[in-house]
Amino acid sequence: RAATLKAFETELGVQPPLGFWDPLGLLADADQEKFDRLRYVEIKHGRICMLAVLGQITTKAGIFLPGTIDYAGTKFSDVPTGFGAFSTISTAGIAQIVAFIGFLELVVMKDSANGAAPGEFPGDFRNGALDFGWDTFSEEEKAFKRGVELNNGRAAQMGILAL
């Protein structure tokens, strides 16, 4: 296990006060490929949770999309937050949401961990099309921004559990 700690203790996201933290031993016998896959999953779940926290905060503040969510006239403001939404949204509506998420997962949000050409790092969904200025940053700025995203994602994963 000590060799694994040495192999990954310099990776992005290893920082005080925890340092390299693997309480479940998921990386006990891991190679770089397994680490990159787990990092991809961590980033992906962090991004989802950041959106979920933002959605909770926005709707709890009373900000909703205008109009109705279905032909029955249910307004967006009538849909509760969290799991309570499942009792309000029709089965067809939930199926549309699941289909859209599936489309994003299988077609749009691809990186080398799930079949796309290798990106610059795990979780790089630019796919040669979207850049938004990323290539203009220095390597230090890129590492800083990736670390910020990783830490915000970790915080959001814990935060959404409390909402």
**Which residues, 6+ apart, have CB-to-CB distance to 27 below 8 Å?**
4, 8, 34, 35, 38
Confidence at residue 122, expressed as pLDDT on a 0 to 100 scale: 81
Q: What pLDDT does residue 63 have?
A: 95
pLDDT (0 to 100) of residue 116: 62
pLDDT score for 6 = 65
Return the ∠ at Cα 151 (arms to 53 and 15), rounded to 5°. 155
Nearest Cα neighbor of 124 from 103, 140, 145 is 145
Average pLDDT of the chain is: 85
| Residue 75: strand pairing partners | 68
Share of the chain above pLDDT 90, in %: 44
User: Does pTM top 0.85 for this prediction?
Assistant: no
* 89 to 28, 93, 163: CA distances (angstroms): 43, 6, 20
CA distances from 17 to 4, 6, 74, 142 (A): 19, 17, 48, 22
Contacts of residue 4, Cβ cutoff 8 Å, sequence gap at least 6? 22, 27, 28, 29, 30
